[in-house]
Structure 1
Amino acid sequence: MPHKFNDGRRHKFEKKRYRITNWAGYNESLRRRGDVTIWLSPEVEAAWRAERRKTRGGQPVYSDLSIVTCLTLGIVYNQPLRQTEGFVGSLVKLMGLDLLVPDYSTLSRRGAGLILPMKARASTDGPIHLVVDSTGLKIFGEGEWLENKHKTKAKRKSWRKLHLGLDLVTGEIACTDLTTDSVGDPTALPELLDQIDGDVTRFIADGAYDGAYDGDPTSDLLVKLFGVDVEITIPPPKTAVLSAEAVGNPTLRDQRIAAIRTGGRMAWQVSSGYNQRSRGETQMGRWKMVIGPKLKARSFPNQKTEAKIGTHILNKMTELGRAKFEVVA
């Protein structure tokens, strides 16, 4: 918003300069992200085979951990399932392990609805400052170009919507979900918040979460889950009006509208910390640079698993080290 309103007089605003205070550690973390020295730990080797079940039917050969390991390596190195099968097979052979490698059809079949083992959040991490945003990911299909160029009707939707919730404190993705393009951001929010295993003290989102008519449903949901002390920062639209009870009993949305009318939208963005939402947009760009702008899986259940694994990969890279900044001018 500030860039749009002040583009004509941008020269009057001096851009802040930052300095990385942990350059040595951050530089090492970037190097480790490209390290191709891959080895299966003894824990993964021990849990590679599936446990035998006592019910009727065929016995599973591979555990969920082995399927997740193969799919993760395939996404990290941007390989289709057949090449992933060969990659993991060569890795097992180099290590001299007596392990069977799942073929590409098994990876595709088991990937649908796969439940990933989630890492427990440390209690010392403190409360969560959550920034929620969404972006589109391409999927297999004819796409808009062929539809616009040759006036053909697309066989299927050509993109999915990825919803991410970024923790500003730790820099990790706290929640993620993949939906069809017809699902709105407020509709996907309850399932995102169900994945949070900590206290959210601050919530930042763009105007899409204000709702079609008012932002009270989103605010009510956040207050119900995290208490009345949660700080909600959602910009109302220009046409927003105060509720009937704004004078005696103003809602959170009424307070935001009044603050914008009093000091202006730019002043409200600075005072409320709404500009921190740009870190969520940066996370979206990071996803498309590291994981990719499109999904390789063909079916929707496999695409949801691919999105969860992509989240796990980005969080593992964040664990290696993050840059710490300080303002120098």
Structure 2
Amino acid sequence: MPHKFSEDRRHKIAKQKFKVTNWAAYNESLRQRGDLTVWVSDEALSQWSAQRRTSRGGQPKYSDLAITMCLTVRVVYELPLRQTQGLMRSIAALMGVEITVPDFSTLSRRSKGLALPPVRRRTACWRPVHLVVDSTGLKVFGEGEWLENKHKIKVKRKRWRKLHLGLDLVSGEIVCSDLTTDDVGDPIALSDLLGQIDGPVGKFIADGAYDGAATRDLLTTRLGEIVEVIIPPPKTAVASSQSALNPTVRDRHIAKIETKGGRMAWQKSTGYNQRSRVETQMGRWKTVIGPKLKARNLDNQKTEAKIGVRVLNRMTELGHPEFSRVA
């Protein structure tokens, strides 16, 4: 939003300059992202085989942890399933571990509805989360523009999925996520996102797509009255009829925009500009994980998205740059 308001005078605004103050630690964290020992641990190899089931039916050969580790390696190194199988076989041989590696068809079949092992939150669960949410589109498959231009044929509609992310501003960790079809709106997906947070939420920030009575009622029901909600009202928004006696949070935002210097001043005073951090996380996803999903059906794509969240959180845990403004 700030970029839109200053677009006509963008060339007159000096670009801010920052300096990374922890280059040594950050460089080492970037090296560790490619280290196989970060993604393939001895603990996972020791729990490779599945526990024997007592009910009727076939016995699983590989544990959920083993399947998760193989799929994690696939996401990190952007490999097809067959190449993932080959890489895991070579890792087992180099480490001298006598295990059988699941084939590509097993990885595809088991990834459908895979129950990922629980992970420990890096921050204390009692600390209120400063939650900022947003969504972006991920490509699935379909003929590209080259085929359309070269052969002059009508390609089928390009499909895509909608990735919803919730970021904790304090820790930089993705605390909730969901992958839906492209027809699911942001306010509708918000209910599942909030259900993944097991602690209190002190602040909620979102863009104007979440503005509405349904979102406000949901936040009040799930998070309580004390949560600070920062959602920009549209330009055409008007105060409610009871704003004079009992103004809502939305009414106070509208009044502040009208009386305190406009929308840009409101963004700065409320901290709404911090929403850009989740947009940065979206760009990071498409750079590190990729802009396209490899799986073909929605259940497998959901598993792929969950593993992608774990990969980004693990990279954040390894280290991130610290900046100081120099100009």
Under a length normalisation based on structure 2, what TM-score does the superposition of the two structures give? 0.92
TM-aligned CA deviation for residue 183 of structure 1: 0.1
**1:252 maps to what in 2?**
249
Q: Report the alpha carbon displacement of residue 299 of structure 1 after superposing the two structures with TM.
A: 0.8
Deviation of 1:33 (Å): 1.7
In structure 2, C-alpha distance between the alignment counterparts of 1:327 and 1:26, rounded to whole Å = 17
Q: Is the 8 A contact 2:208 2:232 kept in 1?
A: yes
Structure 2 counterpart of 1:226, which letter? L
CA distance in 1, matches of 2:305, 2:56: 33
Task: Report whether the alignment pairs 1:286 with 2:284.
Answer: yes
* Cα distance change of structure 1 residues 219 and 106 upon mapping to structure 2, 3 Å threshold: same
Distance 2:48 2:294 in 1: 25
Cα gap change, 1:40 to 1:288, in 2 (>3 Å) = closer
Q: Please, which runs of 5 or more residues in structure 1 have no aligned partner?
A: none
Is the contact between residue 142 and residue 156 of structure 2 (CA under 8 Å) also seen in structure 1?
Answer: no
**In the alignment, what sits opposite 1:62?**
62
Structure 1 residue 202 and structure 2 residue 203: aligned? yes
Distance 1:250 1:320, change over 3 A: same
Give the Cα separation in 2 of the matches to 1:66 and 1:60: 12
Alignment correspondent of 2:321: 323
Query: Of the candidates 223, 228, 232, which is equivalent to residue 225 of structure 2?
Result: 228
- Letter of the 1:168 partner, please give it: L
Q: 1:151 aligns with which of 124, 131, 154?
A: 154
Report the equivalent of 2:300.
302
Residues 259-292 of structure 1, C-alpha deviation per residue, up to 9 Å, x if partnerless? 1121211111111111111111100000000000
- Counterpart CA distance in 1 for 2:56 and 2:8 is 72
TM-superposed deviation, 1:17: 3.0
The corresponding residue for 2:312 is 314
The correspondence for 2:236, drawn from 236, 239, 242, is: 239
- TM-fit CA distance, 1:54: 0.8
1:301-325 deviations in whole A, cap 9, x for unaligned?
0000000000000000000012222
Q: CA deviation at 1:11?
A: 5.1
Instruction: Report the equivalent of 1:126.
Output: 127
Inter-partner Cα distance in structure 1 for 2:55 and 2:8? 71
Paired position in structure 1 for 2:115: 115
AA of the residue aligned to 1:133? D
Match of 2:80 in 1: 80
- How many angstroms apart in 2 are the aligned matches of 1:183 and 1:147? 28
SS in 2 for 1:123: coil
- How far apart in 2 are the matches of 1:55 and 1:163? 37
For the 8 Å contact 2:143–2:155, the answer to whether it is kept is: no
Q: What is aligned with 1:176?
A: 177
RMSD of Structure 2 on Structure 1 (CA): 2.0
The number of equivalent residue pairs is 323
User: What is the distance in 1 between the residues matched to 2:39 and 2:10?
Assistant: 51
Hey, what does 1:104 align to over in structure 2?
104
Q: Distance in 2 between matches of 1:38 and 1:170?
A: 20
- Do the aligned partners of residues 46 and 34 (structure 1) sit closer, same or farther apart at CA in structure 2, a change above 3 Å counting? closer
Mapped to 1, the partners of 2:281 and 2:64 lie a distance apart of 28
**Contact 1:19–1:328 under 8 Å retained in 2:** yes
Compared CA separation, residues 200 and 146, structure 1 to 2 (3 A): farther
Partners in 1 of 2:293 and 2:90 — Cα distance?
25
SS at match of 1:150: coil
**Gap regions ≥5 residues in structure 2:** none
Change (3 A) 1:145 1:131: farther
Structure 1 position 326, deviation (Å)? 2.8
What is the SS of the residue equivalent to 1:58? coil
Letter paired with 1:231: E
Measured against aligned partners, the alpha-carbon deviations of 1:132-171 in whole angstroms (never above 9, x if no partner) come to: 01000000233677679633443xx510000011111111
Partner-residue secondary structure (3-state), 1:94: helix
Secondary structure class of the residue paired with 1:126: coil
Distance 1:11 1:79 in 2: 42
- Kindly, what percent of the aligned residue pairs are identical? 66
Q: Is the 8 A contact 1:142 1:158 kept in 2?
A: no
Q: Which residue of 2 aligns with 1:35?
A: 35
Q: TM-score scaled by structure 1? A: 0.92
Q: 3-state SS of the aligned residue for 2:246?
A: coil
